[in-house]
Structure 1
Amino acid sequence: MSYVIPAAPPVSVPVLGTSDRFPVRRIYCVGRNYEEHAKEMGFTGREPPFFFLKPADALVVVNAGETGTMPYPSLTQNLHHEIELVVAIGTGGRNITAADAHKHIYGYAVGLDMTRRDLQNEMKKQGRPWCIGKGFDHSAPIGPITPAAQAGDLSQAAIWLKVNGQERQSSQISKLIWNIAETIEHLSAAWELSPGDLIYTGTPEGVAAVVKGDLLEGGVTGLGHLNVRIA
């Protein structure tokens, strides 16, 4: 096949403990999926889940034991961190039931949904899409994917984030408003999921601004750590 311009290289994430890579197709994100975070953003209750997307090339892929670099983005004075459990889809499908959701999961990773909060808030006020606040370059740092069999049951796992050694976010995966299986059920009713899709499942309370030079250290019990420096 001949292309009229050079084709972009495929985006992929390392699989922990192997030389294999997980090819990424789409990145789905769940909004306001922890109750306390919903409250700090001005909302309450168990609202129906809603989703937004990031481009696959927004990933900042960080190998195990390394510290990744994320450049401070343009146009913002209020860059926020959001630590998240990421689900990697290995088997696609549409209208997947919550009971069958586990059959479609390849593995899990630790991710950051970085947000230009001032731009997002301005778009909300104007009733416009807020892709500019969420889907910008380098907005989705991620660590290696741990296969599901190795990760075990994460339903009670702790999730946390420190900035320069000071705790900012601390919660448990059990506090997800819509758990992983329910999220996959709702998401697959709106889009047909495919192998290579990533799902950022939401962030707990404690989101706040970071600046150039800050070191972000986050993790989910059983999945290791994700370290990212803001450059």
Structure 2
Amino acid sequence: MSKFIQLAVTSAMAFSLIACSKQENSSTLNDAKSPEVLKQEVQAQKLAEAPKADKSMPLEQYQELSSGQQVMFSYLANSEMPIDYEKSAQAISAEYRGQSDDFKKRDLLNALKPRIDAEVAKAKSAKYFFANFDAELDKYDFESKAFPLKNLRDSGTYWYFYDVNAYRYSFLNGAVFNKIPVVDETMARTIESYRASYKKMTVRVYFYASSAKLGESTLMGEITRVRLYDGKGTLLAEI
């Protein structure tokens, strides 16, 4: 009888150890992070460590973002990865793109490298931009006394230029600026009349090129100011 009890206890202990082992393995597997989660965590850490915009910078010192080349060079200036000279040369030189002779292509690449390096160096010290968009406003929100701005509604929205469409840009804090407050009723009526009749209005977004998105050719910007203009360039509202 005692041998039977001892055998039962031994079996129970063994089963318990196996169960614990399975639980530990299961826990280890559950704790393992997917590459996408790890990527997001690294990106979040990079953004936290990225330099922030100087809000006192005069708006007159912001330069207009008007080409894909600017986006590319600014992206390269913010990226921690080595410069892909072939990809950059492909983007900025029609002669390089059209050259089929590999020796001439190599010579062109070597000739373009100093220019690429110079543009990237310049981009490292010129990070304040403004970009213009056709205004996309929702109807006036009487409760918040503001016009929702559809241009900045989605955090995942990005833009690019056709000259170098492999590089794009997006905003880190668009949600903070997705409503333009207009407390004055007269001005609100004016803007609403423009919106309702589809008259041209322009949204100008001022931002600081702060970082490059990990694993993507996307320049990330920190918005510092948003302005709304009518078709003649008159300032209507800002935030």
TM-score scaled by structure 1? Answer: 0.24
TM-score norm. by structure 2 comes to: 0.23
Is the radius of gyration larger for structure 1 or structure 2? Answer: 2
The answer to which structure, 1 or 2, has the higher relative contact order (CA under 8 A, 6+ apart) is: 1
Greater share of residues in helix: 2
